[in-house]
Structure 1
Amino acid sequence: MASSVDLDPRSYPGTYKLIGGTPALDLANLVSFRGTAREHDWLEPSGNACRWASAAGLPPPERTDIRRLRRFREVVARTFLAVVDGESPDPDDLADIGATAAAAFANRQLVYPSSSGSDGQGTPDAGPVAARWYDPSPSLLGVLAIDATDLLTSETAIDRIRACTECRWLFLDTTRNQSRRWCDPGDCGNRVRQRRHYRHRSRGDARQRPT
């Protein structure tokens, strides 16, 4: 069971958890029960954005990024929910993700790690190592966009993206037989099982009533 992230829920009775398995999907999940009467925006209040980024191990957002982050979240959510539903994502949303990722990638530098490398990660006496991309000043939106494009262009990953049958949060299904149905079996899984048990008991009670 995933642990909850310390975000301010205001009056909302639920909790937020990093269950996506990847930053882009966790971004999309910053809305609970999207499009329903129970919908809750976890980027309200705005201070939650910094708490979320810190918990997810991502760069902190700039103060002016919150509105852009909220808008980009919906772009990412629409795109991956369309994938889950077997539909083609909106071309404008794909273009938005691609352009944001391209701008972020343009800031990266190709470096070769060494004991005095520019990334500060030395590998003395370790033999030849692979070069790597290094971003001296990563932005939150850029990191999220690159992660989204990595998912969208990976045949292995795209085939494992699922949406919880209860709340529609997105996640990577890493189970061996790809049978995961819920964001968290202790939350949505319990709700589904409780409803199933209630219906079963109600049918049993109805059969036992005298006519």
Structure 2
Amino acid sequence: MENPIATLALDGGWLCLDFINTVSARTPEVAAEYLNTWDDLRAWVRHVGLFSENEWQRWQALPESNIEEVRAFREALYVLFEHLSRKGSLHPKHLDAFNGFLHEVYPHTQLCLTDDGLRRGVTEAPHPEKPLWLIALSAEALLLSDRLTRVKSCGNCGWLFLDTSKNGTRRWCNMQTCGSQMKAKAYYHRKKAQ
């Protein structure tokens, strides 16, 4: 049987947001955890294409790390970006927590020359925490980008996503799933009220 996280929709639009969305929904009554084991993280890392096949083979053979710490990191990112999506600003306490993660990541980074110029990347050596380092750098890049104000929370499931619509008014992580459900509910309530 295929691991559900291996086919999880990647509707966040940014690596760190897709990582934050590794729960079925952010509403407590329907939330289901997708990151239960290290094998779940392995399946997600492969699903998002974080590593080349060769690098993934080397990484997945490494000893496991603590999945509770992985989830704690994810939840710290969620709180940081969810507050931003709701309030339009970052909370200093949440930013301090994220800076604590960055402090652990930076010794494993270096500047890399790419076609787009310089960017911060992770050193090549395989390490169990390498996916988390890449996710942290993704979050840092989003926080420093001009797209930060486009981070939104889905009105149906609570997933976070980057609103790439022209006018910045998208309300759902995915029109085919959450958008359709919300429109159907609204239609039902309008008809019922008549």
* Interval of TM-score (by shorter of Structure 1 and Structure 2): 0.7 to 0.9
Deviations 1:124-152 (A, max 9, x none): xxxxx956655213611111111111112
Tell me the amino acid that sits aligned with residue 43 of structure 1. L
Is the Cα–Cα contact under 8 Å of residues 152 and 161 in structure 2 kept in the other structure?
yes
Aligned residue pairs: how many?
Answer: 179
Is the Cα–Cα contact under 8 Å of residues 108 and 136 in structure 1 kept in the other structure?
no
Deviations 1:132-191 (A, max 9, x none): 65521361111111111111222x121111111111111111111112110111111111
1:188 aligns with 2:178: yes
Residue of structure 2 equivalent to 1:176: 166
Q: 1:203 to 1:108 in 2, by over 3 A?
A: closer
Unmatched runs of 5 consecutive residues or more in structure 2:
52-58
User: 1:29, 1:77 → 2: CA distance?
Assistant: 8
Is the Cα–Cα contact under 8 Å of residues 24 and 145 in structure 1 kept in the other structure?
yes
Unmatched runs of 5 consecutive residues or more in structure 1:
1-5, 10-14, 114-122, 124-128, 205-211
Is the Cα–Cα contact under 8 Å of residues 36 and 67 in structure 2 kept in the other structure?
no
Q: Tell me how far 1:43 sits from its aligned partner.
A: 0.8
User: 1:24, 1:92 → 2: CA distance?
Assistant: 19
Q: 1:157 to 1:202 in 2, by over 3 A?
A: same
Tell me the amino acid that sits aligned with residue 34 of structure 1. R
* Greater percentage in helix: 2
TM-score (norm 1): 0.73
Deviations 1:66-120 (A, max 9, x none): 221111010000000000111654544322322322432322334668xxxxxxx
Q: Pick from 136, 146, 152: which aligns with 1:145?
A: 136
TM-score (norm 2): 0.78
User: 1:8, 1:130 → 2: CA distance?
Assistant: 37
Q: 1:142 to 1:45 in 2, by over 3 A?
A: closer
Stretches of 4+ moved more than 6 A in 1? none
Residue of structure 1 equivalent to 2:191: 201
Q: Over the residues paired in the alignment, what is the CA RMSD in angstroms?
A: 2.7
User: 2:81, 2:162 → 1: CA distance?
Assistant: 11
Residue of structure 2 equivalent to 1:8: 4
Q: Pick from 124, 133, 147: which aligns with 1:136?
A: 124
- In our comparison, the structure showing a higher alpha carbon Rg is 1
Tell me the amino acid that sits aligned with residue 56 of structure 1. V
Higher relative contact order (CA 8 A, sep 6+): 2
Q: Tell me how far 1:36 sits from its aligned partner.
A: 1.9
